[in-house]
Amino acid sequence: MTGWPQQSLARIEPSQAKHARMSAMSTLSVQHVSKSFGTTESPLQVLTDVTLELSGGDSLAIVGPSGSGKSTLLQILGTLDQPTSGTVLIDGTDPFSYSAAQLAAFRNHKIGFIFQDHHLLPQLSVIENVLVPTLAGGRPGSEHIDRAGELIEAVGLGHRRGHLPSQLSGGERERVAIARALLMKPTLILADEPTGNLDRKSAEAVTELLLRLQSDNGAILISVTHSDALAAAMKDRKELLDGKLV
Ligand SMILES: Nc1ncnc2c1ncn2[C@@H]1O[C@H](COP(=O)(O)OP(=O)(O)OP(=O)(O)O)[C@@H](O)[C@H]1O
């Protein structure tokens, strides 16, 4: 891939671009992943034999009671923590085979994160926040700046690109976080309660936007949520119970 699509992401992609994207289909393969914390004498078994196969365009809600291991699974899928056993392949690559520096670069390009409390940097404008994932590579190039502008338009904040997070509503901040998560055209978008802090109307708008942009970009979306409305909007829903995904 030599550059980001220049056309608005809200528009339908030309068949050529769609073909190019489909030829490099995003994939996530999680095989027999288990995770325990603590010592071998007294381990706390949190995940047991979790297996999952997803590809570009798939969206999955992970639900489950508090303490069932949802955040732990998200941390492992986000390559922020390693499984005790089992494998994770993102686009056919085992991220845990990389050095720390390689892993950081891989994560930056392949995974977009969306958090409940958006994690925007307060001193940066909307467009600067969306460009944060490029900072690891130095100054953002013009193709990144163009794509950031397109994404900000696509999330309906074109007229607010110079504003600070403190000047935005909760729903608008979450939309900026969605744009930032999509900037590097990630394989995997991981969301942790993306509508958790929003009223019903804003939550509906953010859900619709997130799913539309995820689908337009051929990414895989996995969201941990307690929201029935968000879970119902996703293609699939699984529950973590006693460390197993059912
Ligand atoms: N680093 C750690 N060391 C020890 N135990 C941990 C660690 N991280 C998580 N746990 C434990 O693993 C279990 C699962 O935690 P996790 O945060 O994944 O649950 P969750 O389903 O996301 O919960 P919630 O919905 O409340 O956020 C809990 O019992 C937690 O205390």
For the chain, the three-class secondary structure string (H helix, E strand, C coil) is CCCCCCCCCCCCCCHHHHHHHHHCCCEEEEEEEEEEEECCCCEEEEEEEEEEEEECCCEEEEECCCCCCHHHHHHHHCCCCCCCEEEEEECCECHHHCCHHHHHHHHHHHEEEECCCCCCCCCCCHHHHHCHHHHHHCCCCHHHHHHHHHHHHHCCCHHHCCCCHHHCCHHHHHHHHHHHHHCCCCCEEEEECCCCCCCHHHHHHHHHHHHHHHHHCCCEEEEECCCHHHHHHCCEEEEEECCEEC
Predicted local distance difference test score (pLDDT) of residue 12: 31
pLDDT digits (tens, 9 = 90+) for 21-54: 444 799 999 999 999 998 778 889 999 999 999 9
Answer whether residue 175 is part of any domain. Answer: yes
Answer whether residue 164 is part of any domain. Answer: yes
pLDDT more than 90, % of the chain: 79
37 CB less than 6 Å from ligand 1? Answer: yes
CA of 61 to the centre of ligand 1 (A): 18
Residue nearest atom 4 of ligand 1, based on CA coordinates? 37
223 CB less than 6 Å from ligand 1? Answer: no
Answer whether residue 92 is part of any domain. Answer: no
Please tell me the total number of residues recorded for the chain in this structure: 246
Answer whether residue 220 is part of any domain. Answer: yes
Answer whether residue 4 is part of any domain. Answer: no
Answer whether residue 3 is part of any domain. Answer: no
CATH number of the domain where residue 157 is located: 3.40.50.300
Q: In what order do the strands lie in the sheet with 59-63?
A: 111-114, 188-192, 220-224, 59-63, 236-241, 244-245
Summary mean pLDDT of the chain: 89
Give, for ligand 1, the residue of 39, 46, 63 to mutate: max count of ligand atoms closer than 8 Å to Cβ. 46
Distance CA 180, CA 158 (A): 14
* Beta-sheet pairing, 220-224 with 188-192: parallel
**Tally of domains in the chain:** 1
Answer whether residue 39 is part of any domain. Answer: no
Q: In which domain, by residue range, is 153 found?
A: 56-79+99-237
The segments of the chain whose pLDDT lies below 50 read: 1-23
Answer whether residue 17 is part of any domain. Answer: no
Predicted local distance difference test score (pLDDT) of residue 99: 96
Determine the residue type at 32: H
CA of 72 to the centre of ligand 1 (A): 6
State pTM to two decimals.
0.88
